[in-house]
Amino acid sequence: METDQTMKPYLTCMCAALLFAAPVQALAAQAAPAATIAVKKNQTIIDADGRVLGKVYEVNDAGGFVTFTAQMKVYRVPISTLSAEGARLKTSLTRKAIGL
């Protein structure tokens, strides 16, 4: 019976570790970025509907966004929402979601 009592803490720790390991692996799979695209200054950005938003003013790789100006205001679009469409960049966001 002593072996059962000494094994309980180890089994409890192992079960807890397994419970926490599964969600961490799922989060790691979600966080894996898709194919990266080359974002350059002065590239045209279009929205999800295909309308021109503006040209890239600044690329902030550390922050994960690009900025562009429209109607004398500065807007940010996450790089993760961008995909290459020819020479243009297409965002999965709509004008309304961006705030235009």
**What's the pLDDT tens digit per position in 41-89?**
999 999 999 999 999 999 998 999 999 998 899 999 999 999 998 889 9
Please, which residues have CB within 8 angstroms of residue 50's CB and are 6 or more apart in sequence? Answer: 90
- Could you tell me the two tokens for 92? 């999965």
What kind and span of H or E run contains 22? helix 2-31
Bridge partner list, 3: none
| Residue pLDDT, tens place only, 10-19 | 666 565 554 4
**Burial track 40-65 (b if 16+ CB lie within 10 A, e otherwise):** eeebbbbbeeeeebbebeeeeeeeeb
Residue 1 above 60 pLDDT?
no
Class of domain 44-98: mainly beta
- 3 compared with 62, residue with greater pLDDT: 62
Give the pTM: 0.60
Q: Provide the percentage of residues in the chain whose pLDDT is more than 70.
A: 65
- Hey, where are the domains in the chain? 1-32, 44-98
